């Protein structure tokens, strides 16, 4: 029927949504699709992959492809960047689960932070290659993602990576929207009942929900009158209170900035990039919101610990990063990468 066979099926799946795209060998986008979030730790692997399948099938329909059948995959290479794939063993297990669906002749699974990294590196990729003293081609840099949680990865052209488990307190994590909201509630509660010092958070947090006290907010959250998932709405409130000069809120913002700097600096050190001019990319809702206090402290911290780092915020959609990883795996020419970036730019 004249439909080009896609080279790459790219999937970017976060906790709240999944994007899929089918990419031709020349970098053209043939079709895209979206579905819900990917949460295998809550729903089980099979049910979570079913959610991915919805986005994949919508992308295939948009590309004019017939439903996937045994021996007739959608694409040559599946490149999936998935939330909750925090360890290599989890990536391998999920690669096997996706491979069993028959979507591609080969399947690559990475943690979703790699999608942010690869998408953010795309704009600087040609300049990096031109400057590389060893002539190595490919992505080189570090990304820190701070959305609901926090994570960091780094990548070199030779395939070496730097990464962190990023599974919460047991892996030493601090920060992200969920953690910041919980910290803000903790400090506000103690301020109201006298166990802690004063903070404007004690009035601002319940005020966001139209309540008059932290006691009322605690009761509403505990009894389910306010869904626990809505606590993410308190993160902008925290930053607003900090910007107004509240020392407790400001200390939380500063600690979040210091965590971003620590992650990026350690990843750069592991990859022996501290003394090189290299991109440090920031993604996720907390880091892309333009909070002046947070951004300024991150810039100052990295200027001290990694003075040659080029810090920038990633605005490209993460599915672009997954698609670029797929083209990388196939050895696609630079022109294909450029065409793909132009489409998503």
pLDDT, tens digit, 9 for 90 and up, residues 292-326: 999 999 999 999 999 999 999 998 999 999 999 99
pLDDT of residue 134: 45
CA distances from 13 to 86, 90, 277, 320 (A): 13, 15, 31, 12
Does the pTM exceed 0.75? yes
d(CA 153, CA 145): 9
pLDDT of residue 137: 56
pLDDT of residue 133: 45
* Token pair 């990729």: residue: 125
pLDDT mean by block of 10 residues, the chain; 345 residues: 78 94 97 96 95 97 90 95 94 97 97 94 60 57 94 93 93 96 98 98 98 98 96 98 98 98 98 95 94 97 96 93 96 95 86
> pLDDT tens digit string along 256-271?
999 999 999 999 999 9
Q: What is the largest CA-CA distance in the chain?
A: 72
d(CA 277, CA 290): 24
Q: What is the 3-state secondary structure (H, E, C) of the chain?
A: CCCCCCCEEEEEECCCEEEEEEECCCCCEEEEEEEECCCHHHHCHHHHHHHHHHHHHHHHHHCCCCCCECCECCEEEEEEEECCCCCHHHHHHHHHHHHCCCCEEEEEEEECHHHHHHHHHHCCHHHHHHHCCCCCCCCCEEEEEECCCEEEEEECCCCCEEECCCCCHHHCCCCCHHHHHHHHHHHHHHHHHCCCCCCCHHHHHHHHCCCCCHHHHHHHHHCCCCCHHHHHHHHHHHHHHHHCCCHHHHHHHHHHHHHHHHHHHHHHHHCCCCCCCEEEEEECCCCCCCCHHHHHHHHHHHHHHCCCEEEEECCCCHHHHHHHHHHHHHCCCHHHHHHHHHHHC
Q: How far apart are the first and last CA of the chain?
A: 30
pLDDT of residue 344: 85
């Amino acid at each position: 029927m004249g439909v080009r066979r896609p080279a790459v099926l790219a999937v970017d799946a976060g906790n709240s949504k999944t994007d899929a795209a089918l990419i031709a060998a020349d970098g053209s986008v043939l079709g895209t699709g979206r579905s819900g979030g990917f949460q295998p730790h809550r729903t089980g692997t099979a049910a979570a992959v079913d959610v991915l399948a919805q986005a994949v099938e919508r992308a295939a329909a948009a590309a004019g492809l017939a439903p996937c059948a045994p021996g007739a995959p959608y694409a040559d290479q599946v490149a999936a960047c998935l939330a909750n794939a925090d360890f290599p063993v989890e990536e391998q297990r999920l690669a096997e689960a996706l491979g069993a669906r028959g979507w591609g002749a080969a399947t690559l699974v990475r943690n979703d932070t790699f999608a942010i990294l690869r998408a953010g590196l795309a704009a600087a990729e040609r300049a990096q290659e031109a400057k590389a003293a060893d002539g190595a081609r490919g992505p080189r840099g570090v990304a820190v993602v701070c959305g609901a949680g926090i994570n960091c990865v780094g990548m070199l052209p030779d395939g070496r990576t730097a990464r962190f488990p990023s599974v919460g307190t047991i892996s030493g994590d601090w920060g992200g929207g969920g953690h910041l909201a919980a910290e803000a509630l903790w400090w506000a509660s103690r301020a109201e009942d006298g166990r802690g010092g004063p903070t404007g958070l004690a009035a601002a947090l319940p005020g966001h929900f139209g309540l008059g006290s932290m006691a009322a907010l605690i009761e509403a959250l505990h009894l389910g009158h306010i869904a626990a998932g809505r606590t993410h709405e308190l993160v902008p409130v925290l930053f607003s209170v900090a910007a107004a000069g509240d020392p407790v809120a400001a200390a939380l913002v500063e600690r979040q900035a210091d965590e971003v700097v620590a992650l990026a600096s350690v990843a750069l050190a592991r990859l022996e990039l501290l003394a090189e001019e290299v991109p440090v990319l920031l993604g996720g809702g907390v880091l892309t919101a333009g909070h002046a206090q947070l951004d300024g402290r991150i810039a100052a911290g990295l200027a001290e610990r990694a003075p040659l780092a080029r810090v920038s915020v990633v605005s490209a959609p993460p599915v672009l990063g997954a698609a670029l990883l797929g083209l990388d795996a196939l050895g696609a020419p630079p022109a294909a990468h450029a065409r793909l970036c132009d489409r998503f730019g």
